[in-house]
Amino acid sequence: MHASLLDSRSRVMLIAPHPDDESLAAGVFLQKAVAAKASVRVIYGTDGDNNAWPQRFLERKWRLRDADRCRWGHRRRAEAINALRMLRVDPADVEFLSLPDQGISDLLIANGRATVAKIASVILAWQPTHLLLPSAMDTHPDHSSLAILIRLAIAECLPLNHNLSELSYLVHGPSLAFTRSARRLSQTRLERNIKRRAIACHQTQVALSRRRFFAYANRPETFALARRNAPIVFDGPIRSARRVGDALHIEVAFAMKPLRAEETALHLLGHDSTGNNIICFSATLPGRPSDIAMVDCAEREKSQFGRYEGDAFRAEIILPAGSFAAHRSLFVKLDRRVWFFDEIPKPVVHHLKRARSLSVTPLALR
């Protein structure tokens, strides 16, 4: 992958979930954009304020209050500005949305419409020609959920004829789906060294993860170009999903530990039958053959029922999908933490069987 197509007419927007993601994922790309005299704007989803372990380590303080987190967020903002200066990005071209750190998944499920509108207004105001965004295959829930919010915003705010290159980046976790479609960005030794210095500006993060962070400077940056109607690739426990009439059939398989009742939820998010409003339903998976109640996340009421057929390791889940518009994308999210991040077993690739132009996209686990 080459950045030779960037020129003075290019408008590059990078949306990063946290301060530090801009340097880790796109430090070289931003240098190339600046060198090409492209306009550059960097948007941060969160302030990185809910980053407890590094803060406890550096401040020698175990119990963190709201004021402590606020102070930490300001510190991480300042680090991000310093890193961008190193990459020659003007601080005037930076914006922080201050979404809840470690809480974007909950925001997507509970109040997706308002957040989509907020992101859409940012994109619409800037009118980028190149949009760098997190991959939906990223195992960090903030990254994957922000990816879906951005894609919903793009679908709603940009006309179909708008010339936009969507380039997704992966920061956390291996993903065969991402690797197969991603391309490497060529880089010089100087660009690599500047990226390393930009990463070093994030002192709060390097304090506990120095080797891991600097490893990002030693490997090429990769980006996946969004393609319409591309085959769906499933990386995690969701092995396949297809819509048959008004029912959604989902196959799941758990590799690292069995499912336990009351600890795993499945969320369906999409547009209602009018195509205008975002709705979300959630169900707790029982780990044994049983009916499962679908709860409307807005009303907090049980409104529909599905079926779980299988055991704690493998199952087919059948859910009602008639409330969702058939002509809009439907997103499936399995809400299940295994260790610090999420379960990524051996990837299995499936082509989604389309029905009424519906696409189903897997989200990273929570």
Spatial separation of the C-alpha atoms in residues 248 and 241, rounded to whole Å:
7
Nearest to 263 by CA among 280, 282, 286: 286
Q: What pLDDT, on the 0 to 100 scale, is given for residue 232?
A: 60
Q: What backbone torsions phi and psi does residue 36 show, to the nearest 5 degrees?
A: -85, 0
Residue 86 identity (one-letter amino acid)? M
Distance, in Å, from the CA atom of 205 to the CA atom of 213, rounded to the nearest integer, reads 8
For the chain, list the domains and their CATH numbers. Answer: 11-225 (3.40.50.10320), 233-362 (2.60.40)
Residue 364: the pLDDT is: 34
Please report the pLDDT score of residue 122 as a whole number: 95
What pLDDT does residue 230 have? 58
pTM for this one? 0.87
pLDDT in tens, 264-314: 888 899 888 888 888 899 998 888 999 999 999 887 788 889 999 998 889
| Residue 347, pLDDT score | 35
Per-residue model confidence (pLDDT) at position 349: 35
User: Over its length of 366 residues, how does the chain's per-residue pLDDT go in tens digits?
Assistant: 555 579 999 999 999 999 999 999 999 999 999 999 999 999 999 999 999 999 999 999 999 999 999 999 999 999 999 999 999 999 999 999 999 999 998 888 887 788 999 999 999 999 999 999 999 888 898 999 999 999 999 887 777 667 889 999 999 988 888 888 899 999 999 999 999 999 999 999 999 999 999 999 999 999 999 765 555 666 778 888 888 888 999 999 887 666 665 568 888 998 888 888 888 999 988 889 999 999 998 877 888 899 999 988 899 999 999 999 888 888 888 876 544 344 433 333 333 333 333 334 444 322
Residue 353: the pLDDT is 36
